[in-house]
Amino acid sequence: MNKAKKLFIKTYGCQMNVYDSERMAEALGGQGYETTDRADQADMILLNTCHIREKAAEKVYSELGRLKPLKADNPNLKIGVAGCVAQAEGEEIMRRAPVVDLVVGPQSYHRLPQMEDAVRQGQRALDTDFPEEDKFEQLRARPKMARAPSAFLTVQEGCDKFCAFCVVPYTRGAEVSRPADRVLDEARDLVERGVREITLLGQNVNAYHGHEGGLAGLIRDLDRIEGLARIRYTTSHPNDMDDALIAAHGECEKLMPYLHLPVQSGSDRVLKAMNRKHTAQEYLRVIDRVRAARPDIMLSGDFIVGFPGETDQDFEDTLALVEAVEYGQCYSFKYSTRPGTPAAERAQVADDVATDRLRRLQALLGAQQRKIQDSMVGRDVSVLFEKPGRLPGQMSGKSEYLHAVHVHAPMGKAGEMAQVRIVESVTNSLAGVLI
């Protein structure tokens, strides 16, 4: 038998890219590839790229520059660019970077095996189509590898919302949901391979319509899978938090008390300019209803500061919204101009102003996050063990609220769950003891 070829994938950006990288590795597994974490030993290197903010493409070109010498060392090395930069700039990449053998967009990566064949024969391959066939189905007959206790599962892709700052509707295309029976099959398969926690992924996951009961219906079916202990989902849009999904937070035991619900801004003027189609009050009302269903729920969000036209007062409104919600976790960004999106054409906020706002917002969000994390001390949580902890004899994992927890648990194995009393809150994690 031939010696396995080595595949190195570098993943940028969101969790969906993490999932896609796993699927690409599985697709190339059929071509005789095993993954490696060493680029210098690889026969194929794939950069799975993200296009959400500025300089993404530049980062890809400089990474390709760094990889170039590896090709001199190993003439058989093939280099590919995948993901959203590939989708947006495929032909440009082919033109500008002769070192690249293969460019594949996020909707075409099930075709990687054929592309790999072509590349091995000395051709260059580009595929940034939005094909008719279902890439997930094409990838089903993949080898059954054991899996870590926590896995991502893409159920929905693309976005029809067209927020004025965002490239996703262009790079990932229109909203598409996978049929529930296929998602459920994949979930059962993951559970058989050791998975206890599944995070359902979608750019707009709560717009999922592959089940007659929407995302809530899918979650209720997943809730019945024996051996599956935890369900999460991300990322959601406030306008798609329907009654059924909110009710599921109160009723489904396996649905974890954590919700990532980006609002982007607390100013109605900015929300309108962003084409978010909801007001700050409407968002807060959704949060109230979710909290009524599940009082201990941990909230997370995304914010953009310095959106074109954002005034000091608009920014104060954002701070006020953050004060009102109290987030356990948050991501905040300076607005980044994306060519081709409506907001790119508008008058931009001065960079020093945006930088200052980001600093102030992050100070507030950081303090909230800290306060909520510290308030866990003395509480009992459940921890899904994922890997050995920092110290000998420790295991680490996540609580239901997604806090990293280090536990002194000599018998603990990855995939086990335990009740843990939190005894300490340190910089980015908690420490606890078995109860």
Contacting residues toward ligand 5AD, per CB under 6 A: 52-53, 165-166, 262, 264, 302, 304, 333, 335-336, 338
CB of 325 to ligand 5AD, least distance (A): 15
CA distance 25 to 18: 11
With CB cut-offs between 5 and 8 Å by kind, which of ligand 5AD, ligand SF4, none does residue 36 bind? none
Kindly list the distances between the CA atom of residue 323 and the CA atoms of 48, 238, 284, 317, 368, in Å, as whole numbers in the listed order: 36, 18, 11, 10, 9
Binding to ligand SF4 by residue 203, rule CB under 6 A? yes
- What is the closest distance, in whole angstroms, from the C-beta atom of residue 215 to ligand SF4 in the complex? 15
193 alpha carbon, distance to own chain's centre? 22
Question: Can the peptide bond before residue 234 be classed as cis, meaning omega within 30 degrees of 0?
Answer: no
Q: Which residues contact 316 (CB under 8 A, 6 or more apart)?
A: none
Return the residue of 27, 166, 381, 422 that touches ligand SF4, per CB under 6 A.
166
Figure out which of the listed residues 80, 90, 169, 432 binds ligand SF4, where binding follows CB under 6 A. 169
Is 106 a binder of ligand SF4 (CB under 6 A)? no
Q: Counting contacts by CB under 6 A, is residue 161 touching ligand SF4?
A: yes
CA atoms within 13 A on the CB side of 397: 31
Binding mask 211-250 for ligand SF4 (x = CB under 6 A): --------------------------x-------------
- The full DSSP string for 329-396 is EEEEEE----TTSGGGGSPPPPHHHHHHHHHHHHHHHHHHHHHHHHTTTT-EEEEEEEEE-SSTTEEE
- In the list ligand 5AD, ligand SF4, none, the entry touching 249 (Cβ below 5 to 8 angstroms by class) is none
Q: How far apart are CA 340 and CA 173, in angstroms?
A: 14
Residue 19: CB minimum distance to ligand 5AD, A: 15
Shortest CB 160 distance to ligand SF4, Å: 8
> Coil, strand or helix: which one is 318?
helix
Q: Which of 47, 168, 252, 297 binds ligand SF4 (CB under 6 A)?
A: 168
List contacts with ligand SF4 (CB under 6 A).
Answer: 159, 161-163, 166, 168-169, 203-204, 237
